[in-house]
Structure 1
Amino acid sequence: MPQHVIDTTQLQCDKGTTPTPITVTSQSFMSIDGKLQATEEDNQPNINIKPFGICGILRSSCTPSPVKWDNASNFEIEGKKELLDISTCRCSVGGKISVVKSAQNFMEE
């Protein structure tokens, strides 16, 4: 079952060398474990998505250039689709950004 993407969830670009956490700024009231849920509008370079180290295409700093999140949930927060750990975002340079590690904490029973 897909998990929700929340603030500090680790993202990775398949052309970058380093994962980076997402910073949620698109909404301010829906949260899980005290962290805001991400939406499809959390795609601003250097605000929501930080650089991914060195870009394998440009051979320089992997500054994200996100185009659009795909595979978002049908559920909306203030008219914006929420992101899931299966969501991906194309980069206009040629990479694909995806979730590598959820920030959600689950208790085992």
Structure 2
Amino acid sequence: MPQYITDKTQLKCDKGASPAPLTVTSQSFMSIEGKLQATEEDKQPNTNIKPFGFCSVLRSSCSPSPIKWDNTSDFEIEGKKELLDCSTCQCSVGGKISVVKSAQNFVEE
């Protein structure tokens, strides 16, 4: 079952060399375990999504250029769809950004 993601969740780009943490700035009141919940508006380069090291498309440092988050939740925070651990974001350079590891501590039941 997909899980919501929060601030500091590790993201990766399939064309980048290293993961980078997501920084949530799209809203300031919905949180899980004290971490702000991410929405589809958390896609600003260098603010929400940090560089992923070396980019195999550009053959230089990877400065993310996110377009739009896909596979988002049906639920919204202030009209913005919530991100899930299965959400992906296409980069205009050619890569695909996805979740490596959530910042939450999930408990299996």
Q: TM-score, normalised by structure 1?
A: 0.97
What's the CA shift for 1:106? 2.7
* Distance in 1 between residues matched to 2:70 and 2:108, nearest whole Å: 30
What's the CA shift for 1:70? 0.2
SS of aligned partner of 1:97? strand
Q: TM-score, normalised by structure 2?
A: 0.97
1:64 pairs with 2:53? no
Q: Which residue of 2 aligns with 1:46?
A: 46
Relative to 1, partners in 2 of residues 1:108 and 1:73: Cα closer, same or farther, differing over 3 Å?
A: closer
Percentage identity across paired residues of the two chains:
80
Relative to 1, partners in 2 of residues 1:108 and 1:82: Cα closer, same or farther, differing over 3 Å?
A: closer
What's the CA shift for 1:108? 5.7
Q: Which runs of 4+ in 1 moved over 6 A?
A: none
CA-based RMSD:
1.0
Q: Which runs of 5+ in 1 are unaligned?
A: none
* Distance in 1 between residues matched to 2:106 and 2:94, nearest whole Å: 34
What's the CA shift for 1:105? 1.0
Task: Note the alpha carbon deviations across 1:79-101, whole angstroms, 9 max, x for none.
Answer: 00000000000000000000010
Q: Which residue of 1 aligns with 2:37?
A: 37
5 Å-filtered alignment, 1:1-109, equals 1-107=1-107
Task: Note the alpha carbon deviations across 1:8-48, whole angstroms, 9 max, x for none.
Answer: 00000000000000000000000001000000000000000
* Residues paired across the two proteins, number: 109
Letter in structure 2 aligned against 1:64: P
Q: Which runs of 5+ in 2 are unaligned?
A: none
Letter in structure 2 aligned against 1:29: F
Letter in structure 2 aligned against 1:20: A
SS of aligned partner of 1:69? strand
